[in-house]
Amino acid sequence: MKKRGIGMGCIFYGTGYGNGFPDVSTAYVEIHDDGSALVITGAVDCGQGSTTILAQIAAEELSIPVEKVTVTTADTDCTPDSGTTAATRQTYTSGNAVRLAAQKAKQVLLEWAARELGVNTTEGLRVNNGMLEVKGDPAKTVPLEEICAKARFAGKRLIGEASFTTHATQVSMENGQGAPYWPYAFGTQIVEVEVDTETGKVEILKVIAAHDVGKAINPENVKGQIQGGVGQGVGWSLYEEVQLKEGQILNPSMSSYLIPTVLDMPEIEPVIVEAHEPSGPYGAKGVGEPAMLPTAPAVLNAIYNAIGVRINDLPATPEKVLAAIKEAGL
């Protein structure tokens, strides 16, 4: 007999290394004489899309199309230290560093432009649609490329460098007080499963995954990360298990260490929750690890809802589920 159940899992997750550990990212941004820009960062893109996000942040800050931004990453010969791609930190920490570096590069440009255009402050200058405009004096509007080229030909490099440190304090070992992480990400996933009571096999039918990401700088990218996280959560729930005997791994290859394939994936409905984070770049936080975590508890709760037995040892293999059913006398 096949029985269906629904379960929910909720998490909160601290962004960055945490507990007062130095969590620093540095970036350079240079505006070229054709009005394009180069971002130099040590942030490694493992496929999660950080290069795209950092280009978008620089483009927004410089008021130029994202197509005019090139990102050089993870070259130990020329890129600054941006920390590891871990702890859901690159959009937040490196994103803030890129934003600050872009602001500095833009300020160098505006100060040069103010002198060239004969205005007494940079406050009335802005870049808009490929032009550098002077508020209240349209006659002084010049193409961005022209003013950048003049600066470069005069030997002026339009470069900004910035570092950003994520706030965290070490937790007191005496009273447990402190601010070990900032900011926190939040997520809730609801899972529907079908359990075969004769074989113990569990099939995950659907996952609704709602995650607070601050501002979704690239919504399609965020959806992809949520789907990828759920995929890993499915593996932890039903398949992945390191088998050990006397310190030796018994399943060291992909033929014996099972991970879900595309045929094992359920329908996934990502839900983006945007709660503005004031300390993030344009209000953004991260969504890497948080998308992985609620899946397993939601699956186990759904199994309980379906057949009335608790599985407390991952993964919930058919053997474990069937043994639990027999032990409960169902």
For residues 18 and 89, is the Cβ–Cβ distance under 8 A?
A: no
Residue 172 DSSP code: P
**Residues facing 132 on adjacent strands:** 127, 142
Q: Which amino acid is at 31?
A: I
Mind telling me the catalytic residues?
Answer: 289
Cα–Cα distance between 50 and 151 in angstroms, integer? 31
3-state helix, strand, coil in the chain (%, to 5): 35, 25, 40
Contact 218, 49 (CB under 8 A): yes
**Spatial separation of the C-alpha atoms in residues 86 and 104, rounded to whole Å:** 27
- Is the CB of residue 7 less than 8 Å from the CB of residue 305? yes
CB-facing half-sphere around the CA of 301: CA atoms within 13 A: 15
Beginning with the edge strand found earlier in the chain, give each strand of the sheet holding 142-143 in spatial order: 125-128, 131-134, 142-143
The neighbouring-strand residues paired with 190 are 8, 208
- Separation CA 56–CA 80 (nearest Å): 19
**Cβ neighbours, 10 Å, residue 174:** 6
Both tokens of residue 46? 């493992």
Helices (H), the chain: 50-62, 95-117, 144-153, 219-238, 295-307, 318-327
Type of residue found at 246: E
